[in-house]
Structure 1
């Protein structure tokens, strides 16, 4: 009697292949599991998606280099492409369940989760227009006018793209197409999906398929709303001011760090560039927290960043110093100052390991 292959066995083999950078063995592992009876959906979600998540975890822990992480992702994309086949409806001659559009919000290049959703929906008989990463909202709307899908599934992986997601959700619903949101950026339980006007939210591909299997009413076409209509707190203009001041805030924060840590003045151009990128990310997440009026967006990013820095033996004190410098520049913005205080508190209360000392990411 032949023992059916288990998902964890295939997952282990695929992990070994992607870490070794062996594309051929990765493809062979999945093809063999398929031949041995593991179905395509399980391979996509219980094997490939799981391995891809582990890739991110291992990079964050500094056990994979950036190059290894990129190579592993490329291999997983190749494996998914190797599994892709015409939708079941086309293979069996049955009528499609309907047409939907899947894409990432403008600016979001993390297309892998959206690709998994696309392939699962195709396996379940849907006709899917996969638009990939960084879909500009005007082009998305033009596509909806041309194809008239039953729904659009918008993926957003990074919280800093939530304002763009809000624009896309509003525009899609304005032309009468319901929006199913997905991706980690929408927060625990999809809290930001609801706040930004999405019709529904799904945690994963199976959840998205379940939502589409039910009734998803079309919204009545209407004039495009302004962001402040959905998020009244934006009337204070703090989000707008921080976004418009981004370049100056980054530059002045770097100068402030030089005053606090004179050694920064001797940094190479590459070190200064990376430090500027870090400060820019802090400002971007601060602005996003202002947009959705939720400090967790900011504190979660800071504590995640602290873990990244700690794994690379960079003192977390560098983040606290940066927040202090930013607070000095934004002292006239009460909501912003409140977020900076909560960020500092989160870093101090959740920080573990050796006592902090001077230094910033290099």
Structure 2
């Protein structure tokens, strides 16, 4: 497939108009209209890379934002994401111009095991194809053993590893180390690795990219270690893990959720009147809190846990659930982890930040 120029003469107005039309198609759940919008934009001169990154990607971010604000149901969010994914596939087929072999090299693009958000990785894969790479796109949640088997079969120049959810960072660490042990450097990307790539560096990735264009540029420049000399990071990279708090918390997650639910029921009486569905949602929220606490223990980063809690508070408020119920939940979790000093420190810091966030939100609403 011949590499296609990355940029076109289209204006910002053209891109904005195309985004609006694509969003309207997604709101209607109309896959065919969405495909017509995207393919028509390319035929009218909008560069394919711009369509991927300046039309589809921002519209997908809007899908997520509308879900977070409670204006899109989970079902509609899933439907919109599925349509966008199929539109990307239609665009890829539309752009195939012939049997020419890619000239830039070969890259494997995969999501970390347990990571279901595959569209960001798919966009990276298609941008790389446009830049002349042969791309093996493995899709969502790829177990590390299967990823390594694929690397041995295909000998790519690099792996682009994607994760959007921070709780997959321990799994990402294992995948990064395994790829490097197989002699293949890793380019990490996705929201899970932090807006500044801090977790990619912490976990020893060879490079980090904040977006698809940067990823393509870094791969074109060449990542270190392609010749099989890449070595896994030493075990001492995360010395705080020696205290076993991460291991013990992650292994006892179910018990912690049950104990926190019981403690929350005592501290937050309205929970007793919840329907079965509402209690189910509460259990899901508590499970996420425990998972993020465990991940913060893995990275030893209080900001990871704090950021998740303040985000959750905003989500609950958008769904008309009192976000202050998170505070007694933290108290119940604190009580169960009294013998875990690092966990207590994380919970205490998160509690202070959450109270400040809730007080600030209340002040804004009052004014």
TM-score (norm 1): 0.92
Cα distance in 2 for partners of 1:317, 1:230 equals 37
Are 1:125 and 2:171 an aligned pair?
A: no
Instruction: Provide, for residues 187-233 of structure 1, a one-character-per-residue CA deviation record: whole Å limited to 9, x for no partner.
Output: 1210110110100000111011000110212265577667x432011
Equivalent in 75, 87, 90 of residue 79 of structure 1: 87
- Larger deviation, residues 298-307 vs 62-71: 62-71
Residue 323, structure 1, aligned to residue 334, structure 2: no
Say whether residues 1:17 and 2:51 are aligned partners. no
Task: State the Cα distance separating 1:92 from its structure 2 match.
Answer: 7.2
* Of 236, 239, 242, the match for 1:232: 239
Partner SS for 2:46: coil
- In structure 1, runs of 5+ residues without a counterpart are 356-362
Give the corresponding residue for 2:40. Answer: 32
Q: 2:111 aligned with 1:104, yes or no?
A: yes
Per the alignment, residue 310 of structure 2 pairs with 303
Deviations along 1:317-339, one digit per CA (max 9) or x if unpaired, are: 11011001100111111111111
> SS state of the match for residue 156, structure 2?
coil
How far apart are the structure 2 equivalents of 1:143 and 1:40?
29
Match of 2:6 in 1: none
> 2: CA distance between counterparts of 1:85 and 1:123?
12
Normalization by structure 2: what TM-score? 0.91
Alignment gaps of 5+ in structure 2: 1-8
Matched, 1:161 2:163: no
Q: Deviation at 1:94? A: 5.7
CA distance in 1, matches of 2:95, 2:151: 21
**Secondary structure class of the residue paired with 2:141:** coil
Pairing 1:41–2:49 present: yes
Is structure 2 residue 58 aligned with structure 1 residue 50? Answer: yes
What is the aligned length?
Answer: 352
CA RMSD of aligned residues (A): 2.0
Q: More displaced, 109-118 or 341-350?
A: 341-350
The question of whether the paired residues in 2 share the 8 Å contact of 1:87 and 1:126 is answered with no
- Contact 1:61–1:311, Cα closer than 8 Å, also in 2: yes
